[in-house]
Amino acid sequence: MSKELFLTATSTDVGKTFTAVLIVKKFRGNGLNAGYYKTALNGAENIK
């Protein structure tokens, strides 16, 4: 059986990606098959 974890927050640049990576590393360290997928990018600079 697979399980999912959804991480969210109310603002940009609050550490969601960093926290998700730490969680995945901990899961993998405990022998679980874990991965990370970032579906959207927000707060990036617009370079022209």
**What are the backbone angles phi and psi of residue 38, rounded to the nearest 5°?**
-100, 115
- Among candidate residues 25, 26, 38, 48, the one labeled active-site is 38
48 flagged as catalytic: no
Residue carrying the six token digits 């926290």: 19
Q: Would you give the end-to-end CA distance of the chain in angstroms? A: 46
Please give the structure tokens belonging to residue 44.
Answer: 């990036």
Q: Which residues are catalytic?
A: 38
